[in-house]
Amino acid sequence: VLKLFKLLHRTRQEVFKNDTRALEAARQKINEEFRNNKDETSEEKINELLKIASDVEMILRTSVIQAIHTDSDKIVLVPRKDLLQDNTPYLDKPTKK
């Protein structure tokens, strides 16, 4: 449980880097969820909660992209390096090997 708690906080710091409002909101939400369930004794319920927390961490790490308002009608996306993937160019006529 502690390992996942720490992992969520590390992921939060990476995903919301330089965004103090989002960092604080995520910190409060993570702490609140773990605090609300600290007295849980059912092994089945604990495993379910750990699965949810693990899924949340994976979604944050793989799906969230920061955006910065630069002008009244412009937004700059700031993707992390681990979100970027190599792109395969489109070919109208596939070549045979």
DSSP 43-65: HHHHHHHHHHHHHHHHHHHHH--
DSSP 1-19: -HHHHHHHHHHHHHHTTT-
Helix or strand (DSSP H, E) at 74: strand 74-78
Residue 76 within a domain: yes
Query: What confidence score (pLDDT) does residue 97 get?
Result: 64
Query: What confidence score (pLDDT) does residue 86 get?
Result: 72
Query: What confidence score (pLDDT) does residue 81 get?
Result: 76
Report how far residue 8's alpha carbon sits from residue 16's, in angstroms, rounded to the nearest whole number: 12
Tell me the pLDDT tens digit for each residue of 50-70.
999 999 999 998 888 888 888
Residue 31 within a domain: yes
Residue 65 within a domain: yes
Residue 90 within a domain: no
Residue 92 within a domain: no
Residue 38 within a domain: yes
Tell me the pLDDT tens digit for each residue of 4-55.
999 999 999 999 988 899 999 999 999 999 999 989 899 999 999 999 999 9
- Label residue 92 by pLDDT band (50, 70, 90): confident
Structural domains of the chain, count = 1
Domain, as residue range, for 59? 1-83
